[in-house]
Protein backbone atom coordinates (compact mmCIF):
# COMPACT_ATOMS: atom_id res chain seq x y z
CA UNK A 1 0.00 0.00 0.00
CA UNK A 2 1.25 3.45 -0.86
CA UNK A 3 2.14 5.45 2.19
CA UNK A 4 0.30 8.65 2.95
CA UNK A 5 2.34 11.82 2.68
CA UNK A 6 1.01 14.81 4.60
CA UNK A 7 2.33 17.74 6.54
CA UNK A 8 2.43 15.37 9.51
CA UNK A 9 4.90 13.17 7.68
CA UNK A 10 7.13 16.14 7.03
CA UNK A 11 7.13 16.70 10.77
CA UNK A 12 8.25 13.13 11.40
CA UNK A 13 10.82 12.85 8.64
CA UNK A 14 12.30 16.15 7.58
CA UNK A 15 10.71 19.31 8.90
CA UNK A 16 13.30 19.83 11.61
CA UNK A 17 15.63 21.25 8.94
CA UNK A 18 13.17 23.63 7.25
CA UNK A 19 13.98 27.32 6.95
CA UNK A 20 11.97 30.34 7.88
CA UNK A 21 9.56 31.62 5.23
CA UNK A 22 8.97 35.24 4.32
CA UNK A 23 6.32 37.13 6.23
CA UNK A 24 3.66 39.02 4.35
CA UNK A 25 0.52 41.00 4.81
CA UNK A 26 -1.89 38.10 4.44
CA UNK A 27 -4.19 37.56 7.39
CA UNK A 28 -6.79 35.06 8.53
CA UNK A 29 -10.49 35.90 8.52
CA UNK A 30 -11.35 37.80 11.71
CA UNK A 31 -12.55 35.82 14.69
CA UNK A 32 -16.36 35.91 14.93
CA UNK A 33 -17.95 37.02 18.20
CA UNK A 34 -19.28 34.02 20.15
CA UNK A 35 -22.67 34.02 21.80
CA UNK A 36 -20.90 32.68 24.88
CA UNK A 37 -17.58 31.17 25.96
CA UNK A 38 -17.07 28.67 28.76
CA UNK A 39 -14.84 25.82 29.92
CA UNK A 40 -15.62 22.14 30.36
CA UNK A 41 -12.70 20.28 31.91
CA UNK A 42 -9.74 20.75 29.59
CA UNK A 43 -11.87 22.20 26.79
CA UNK A 44 -12.48 25.89 26.14
CA UNK A 45 -15.71 26.30 24.18
CA UNK A 46 -16.95 29.17 22.02
CA UNK A 47 -20.59 28.82 21.02
CA UNK A 48 -22.23 30.38 17.98
CA UNK A 49 -25.67 30.22 16.34
CA UNK A 50 -28.50 27.78 16.96
CA UNK A 51 -29.88 24.62 15.43
CA UNK A 52 -28.44 21.13 15.00
CA UNK A 53 -25.14 20.92 16.92
CA UNK A 54 -21.71 20.83 15.31
CA UNK A 55 -18.49 20.54 17.35
CA UNK A 56 -15.32 21.87 15.70
CA UNK A 57 -12.02 20.38 16.92
CA UNK A 58 -8.72 21.99 15.86
CA UNK A 59 -5.43 20.25 15.25
CA UNK A 60 -2.09 20.14 17.00
CA UNK A 61 -1.04 23.49 18.54
CA UNK A 62 -4.07 25.21 17.00
CA UNK A 63 -7.08 26.96 18.42
CA UNK A 64 -10.57 27.72 17.20
CA UNK A 65 -8.96 30.30 14.86
CA UNK A 66 -8.55 27.59 12.19
CA UNK A 67 -12.34 27.69 11.74
CA UNK A 68 -12.74 31.51 11.62
CA UNK A 69 -13.68 31.47 7.96
CA UNK A 70 -16.40 28.83 8.24
CA UNK A 71 -17.99 29.52 11.64
CA UNK A 72 -20.28 32.36 10.43
CA UNK A 73 -21.54 30.15 7.60
CA UNK A 74 -22.23 27.18 9.87
CA UNK A 75 -23.73 29.33 12.62
CA UNK A 76 -26.46 30.52 10.26
CA UNK A 77 -28.08 27.08 10.48
CA UNK A 78 -26.35 25.23 13.33
CA UNK A 79 -25.34 25.55 16.94
CA UNK A 80 -21.57 25.61 16.60
CA UNK A 81 -19.29 24.65 19.49
CA UNK A 82 -15.69 25.54 18.59
CA UNK A 83 -13.16 23.92 20.91
CA UNK A 84 -9.68 24.90 22.02
CA UNK A 85 -7.74 22.28 23.95
CA UNK A 86 -5.96 23.20 27.17
CA UNK A 87 -2.41 24.34 26.46
CA UNK A 88 -3.19 25.40 22.89
CA UNK A 89 -3.62 28.93 21.50
CA UNK A 90 -2.58 30.62 24.73
CA UNK A 91 -4.87 28.56 26.96
CA UNK A 92 -3.15 27.39 30.17
CA UNK A 93 -2.07 23.74 30.21
CA UNK A 94 -3.97 21.36 32.48
CA UNK A 95 -1.91 18.27 33.17
CA UNK A 96 -0.88 15.61 30.68
CA UNK A 97 -3.38 15.40 27.80
CA UNK A 98 -4.80 12.12 26.55
CA UNK A 99 -7.41 10.72 24.20
CA UNK A 100 -9.31 9.36 27.19
CA UNK A 101 -9.33 12.78 28.84
CA UNK A 102 -10.64 14.42 25.66
CA UNK A 103 -13.42 11.83 25.36
CA UNK A 104 -14.38 12.40 29.00
CA UNK A 105 -14.57 16.18 28.62
CA UNK A 106 -16.41 16.10 25.28
CA UNK A 107 -18.97 13.76 26.87
CA UNK A 108 -19.32 16.24 29.73
CA UNK A 109 -19.96 19.05 27.23
CA UNK A 110 -22.64 17.02 25.42
CA UNK A 111 -24.25 16.10 28.75
CA UNK A 112 -24.23 19.65 30.13
CA UNK A 113 -25.79 21.10 26.98
CA UNK A 114 -28.08 18.11 26.34
CA UNK A 115 -26.66 17.70 22.84
CA UNK A 116 -27.66 14.74 20.70
CA UNK A 117 -27.12 13.81 17.07
CA UNK A 118 -23.92 15.86 17.05
CA UNK A 119 -21.62 16.19 14.05
CA UNK A 120 -17.93 16.23 14.94
CA UNK A 121 -15.66 18.09 12.51
CA UNK A 122 -11.97 17.75 13.33
CA UNK A 123 -8.80 18.88 11.60
CA UNK A 124 -5.58 16.80 11.78
CA UNK A 125 -5.23 15.74 15.45
CA UNK A 126 -8.80 16.97 15.85
CA UNK A 127 -9.91 14.51 13.19
CA UNK A 128 -8.18 11.68 15.01
CA UNK A 129 -9.85 12.74 18.27
CA UNK A 130 -13.23 12.79 16.52
CA UNK A 131 -12.66 9.27 15.22
CA UNK A 132 -11.63 8.11 18.69
CA UNK A 133 -14.79 9.57 20.21
CA UNK A 134 -16.99 7.96 17.57
CA UNK A 135 -15.45 4.58 18.34
CA UNK A 136 -16.40 5.03 22.00
CA UNK A 137 -19.88 6.51 21.66
CA UNK A 138 -21.40 6.75 18.18
CA UNK A 139 -24.88 6.88 19.72
CA UNK A 140 -24.34 10.55 20.59
CA UNK A 141 -23.41 11.45 17.02
CA UNK A 142 -24.95 12.05 13.60
CA UNK A 143 -21.64 11.84 11.80
CA UNK A 144 -17.91 12.55 11.77
CA UNK A 145 -15.98 14.69 9.31
CA UNK A 146 -12.21 14.30 9.61
CA UNK A 147 -10.15 16.89 7.76
CA UNK A 148 -6.77 15.32 6.98
CA UNK A 149 -6.95 13.44 10.27
CA UNK A 150 -6.60 9.66 10.37
CA UNK A 151 -6.94 6.75 12.82
CA UNK A 152 -3.17 6.29 12.75
CA UNK A 153 -0.35 8.79 12.32
CA UNK A 154 0.83 8.95 8.69
CA UNK A 155 3.76 6.74 7.76
CA UNK A 156 3.55 4.73 11.00
CA UNK A 157 0.94 2.21 9.83
CA UNK A 158 3.51 -0.56 9.39
CA UNK A 159 5.39 0.11 12.67
CA UNK A 160 4.99 -1.91 15.84
CA UNK A 161 3.64 -0.18 18.97
CA UNK A 162 7.17 -0.13 20.39
CA UNK A 163 8.52 1.49 17.23
CA UNK A 164 5.79 4.15 17.29
CA UNK A 165 6.61 4.88 20.92
CA UNK A 166 10.26 5.39 19.95
CA UNK A 167 9.32 7.76 17.12
CA UNK A 168 7.00 9.67 19.46
CA UNK A 169 9.69 9.98 22.13
CA UNK A 170 12.25 11.34 19.69
CA UNK A 171 9.83 13.88 18.23
CA UNK A 172 8.68 15.06 21.64
CA UNK A 173 12.26 15.46 22.86
CA UNK A 174 13.13 17.56 19.83
CA UNK A 175 10.15 19.85 20.31
CA UNK A 176 10.76 20.32 24.03
CA UNK A 177 14.37 21.35 23.34
CA UNK A 178 13.43 24.27 21.09
CA UNK A 179 13.55 27.86 22.27
CA UNK A 180 10.55 30.12 21.52
CA UNK A 181 12.38 31.68 18.56
CA UNK A 182 13.36 28.24 17.26
CA UNK A 183 9.77 27.07 17.59
CA UNK A 184 8.46 30.01 15.53
CA UNK A 185 11.11 29.38 12.87
CA UNK A 186 10.25 25.68 12.85
CA UNK A 187 6.52 26.31 12.58
CA UNK A 188 7.06 28.88 9.81
CA UNK A 189 9.03 26.38 7.76
CA UNK A 190 6.45 23.69 8.37
CA UNK A 191 3.63 25.98 7.29
CA UNK A 192 5.56 27.03 4.19
CA UNK A 193 6.18 23.48 3.00
CA UNK A 194 3.00 21.63 3.88
CA UNK A 195 0.64 23.90 5.78
CA UNK A 196 -0.71 26.55 3.43
CA UNK A 197 -0.27 27.43 -0.23
CA UNK A 198 0.03 31.19 0.33
CA UNK A 199 3.62 31.80 1.54
CA UNK A 200 2.54 35.10 3.08
CA UNK A 201 0.37 33.17 5.55
CA UNK A 202 3.16 30.93 6.82
CA UNK A 203 4.58 33.36 9.37
CA UNK A 204 1.22 34.57 10.76
CA UNK A 205 0.01 31.00 11.22
CA UNK A 206 3.33 29.98 12.76
CA UNK A 207 3.00 32.81 15.27
CA UNK A 208 -0.45 31.54 16.23
CA UNK A 209 0.67 27.94 16.69
CA UNK A 210 3.72 29.09 18.65
CA UNK A 211 1.36 30.49 21.30
CA UNK A 212 0.73 26.92 22.44
CA UNK A 213 2.54 25.40 25.40
CA UNK A 214 5.51 23.38 24.05
CA UNK A 215 5.13 20.61 26.64
CA UNK A 216 1.44 20.19 25.83
CA UNK A 217 2.21 20.12 22.11
CA UNK A 218 4.87 17.48 22.68
CA UNK A 219 2.54 15.42 24.88
CA UNK A 220 -0.29 15.54 22.33
CA UNK A 221 2.12 14.65 19.53
CA UNK A 222 3.28 11.67 21.58
CA UNK A 223 -0.30 10.50 22.12
CA UNK A 224 -1.11 10.99 18.45
CA UNK A 225 1.87 9.02 17.16
CA UNK A 226 1.36 6.18 19.62
CA UNK A 227 -2.36 5.61 19.03
CA UNK A 228 -3.76 3.17 16.48
CA UNK A 229 -7.53 3.42 16.11
CA UNK A 230 -7.83 1.18 13.05
CA UNK A 231 -8.86 -2.02 14.87
CA UNK A 232 -12.05 -0.41 16.26
CA UNK A 233 -13.17 1.57 13.21
CA UNK A 234 -15.99 -0.94 12.78
CA UNK A 235 -17.49 0.28 16.07
CA UNK A 236 -18.40 3.59 14.40
CA UNK A 237 -22.04 3.29 13.40
CA UNK A 238 -22.44 6.77 11.85
CA UNK A 239 -21.01 8.03 8.55
CA UNK A 240 -17.29 8.84 8.63
CA UNK A 241 -16.26 11.35 5.96
CA UNK A 242 -12.65 12.28 5.24
CA UNK A 243 -11.74 15.54 3.49
CA UNK A 244 -8.27 15.20 1.98
CA UNK A 245 -6.23 18.08 0.53
CA UNK A 246 -4.07 17.38 -2.48
CA UNK A 247 -1.23 19.64 -3.54
CA UNK A 248 -0.07 18.87 -7.11
CA UNK A 249 3.35 20.20 -6.20
CA UNK A 250 3.76 18.15 -3.03
CA UNK A 251 6.94 16.11 -2.90
CA UNK A 252 7.66 12.94 -0.97
CA UNK A 253 10.23 13.96 1.69
CA UNK A 254 12.06 10.63 1.44
CA UNK A 255 11.94 9.04 -1.98
CA UNK A 256 10.67 11.94 -4.12
CA UNK A 257 7.77 9.76 -5.32
CA UNK A 258 4.94 12.04 -6.38
CA UNK A 259 1.56 10.38 -5.78
CA UNK A 260 -1.29 11.24 -8.06
CA UNK A 261 -4.51 12.54 -6.56
CA UNK A 262 -6.12 9.15 -7.19
CA UNK A 263 -3.23 7.34 -5.48
CA UNK A 264 -3.44 9.59 -2.43
CA UNK A 265 -7.18 9.04 -2.18
CA UNK A 266 -6.68 5.27 -2.46
CA UNK A 267 -4.19 5.38 0.40
CA UNK A 268 -6.67 7.16 2.67
CA UNK A 269 -9.43 4.74 1.67
CA UNK A 270 -7.17 1.83 2.60
CA UNK A 271 -6.41 3.24 6.06
CA UNK A 272 -10.14 3.76 6.71
CA UNK A 273 -11.21 0.45 5.17
CA UNK A 274 -12.58 -1.05 8.41
CA UNK A 275 -15.14 1.73 8.86
CA UNK A 276 -18.71 0.74 7.98
CA UNK A 277 -19.79 3.95 6.21
CA UNK A 278 -16.86 5.92 4.85
CA UNK A 279 -16.38 8.47 2.09
CA UNK A 280 -13.14 10.18 1.06
CA UNK A 281 -13.42 13.53 -0.73
CA UNK A 282 -10.44 15.30 -2.29
CA UNK A 283 -9.89 19.06 -2.54
CA UNK A 284 -7.15 20.24 -4.90
CA UNK A 285 -5.05 22.31 -5.00
CA UNK A 286 -4.70 22.60 -1.24
CA UNK A 287 -2.32 21.83 1.58
CA UNK A 288 -2.91 20.63 5.13
CA UNK A 289 -4.95 23.68 6.25
CA UNK A 290 -7.42 23.12 3.45
CA UNK A 291 -10.12 25.25 5.11
CA UNK A 292 -7.73 28.22 4.84
CA UNK A 293 -6.34 27.35 1.41
CA UNK A 294 -9.70 26.71 -0.26
CA UNK A 295 -12.40 28.22 2.00
CA UNK A 296 -15.14 28.29 -0.64
CA UNK A 297 -14.58 24.75 -1.84
CA UNK A 298 -14.18 23.52 1.73
CA UNK A 299 -17.49 25.12 2.73
CA UNK A 300 -19.26 23.65 -0.30
CA UNK A 301 -17.78 20.22 0.38
CA UNK A 302 -18.72 20.29 4.06
CA UNK A 303 -22.24 21.46 3.25
CA UNK A 304 -22.66 18.56 0.83
CA UNK A 305 -21.44 16.06 3.40
CA UNK A 306 -23.68 17.46 6.12
CA UNK A 307 -26.65 17.22 3.78
CA UNK A 308 -26.13 13.45 3.48
CA UNK A 309 -26.14 12.78 7.23
Helix (H, G, I), strand (E, B) or coil at 30: coil
Q: How far apart are the first and last CA of the chain?
A: 30
d(CA 92, CA 98): 16
Per-position pLDDT tens, the chain of length 309: 444 544 444 433 333 322 233 333 356 889 999 999 999 999 999 999 999 999 999 999 999 999 999 999 999 999 999 999 999 999 999 999 999 999 999 999 999 999 999 999 999 999 999 999 999 999 999 999 999 999 999 889 889 999 999 999 998 888 888 888 888 888 888 898 899 999 899 999 999 999 999 999 999 999 999 999 999 999 999 999 999 999 988 654 444 467 899 999 999 999 999 999 999 999 999 999 999 999 999 999 999 999 999
Superfamily for 7-308? Alpha/Beta hydrolase fold, catalytic domain (3.40.50.1820)
Domain segments of the chain as ranges: 7-308
Decide the pairing of beta strands 278-283 and 240-245.
parallel
Q: pLDDT value at position 250?
A: 62
d(CA 213, CA 11): 18
What's the DSSP call for residue 138? G
Amino acid sequence: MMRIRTVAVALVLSAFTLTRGAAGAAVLPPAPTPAESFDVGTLHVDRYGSGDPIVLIPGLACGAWVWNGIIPHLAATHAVYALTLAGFAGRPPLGTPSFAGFTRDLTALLDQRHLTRVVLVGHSLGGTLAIAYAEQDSNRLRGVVAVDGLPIFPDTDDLTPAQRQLVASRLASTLRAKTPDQMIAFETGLMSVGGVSDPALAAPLAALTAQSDPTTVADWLTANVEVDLRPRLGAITVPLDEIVPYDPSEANPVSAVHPTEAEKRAAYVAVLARARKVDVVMISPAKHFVMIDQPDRFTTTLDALLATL
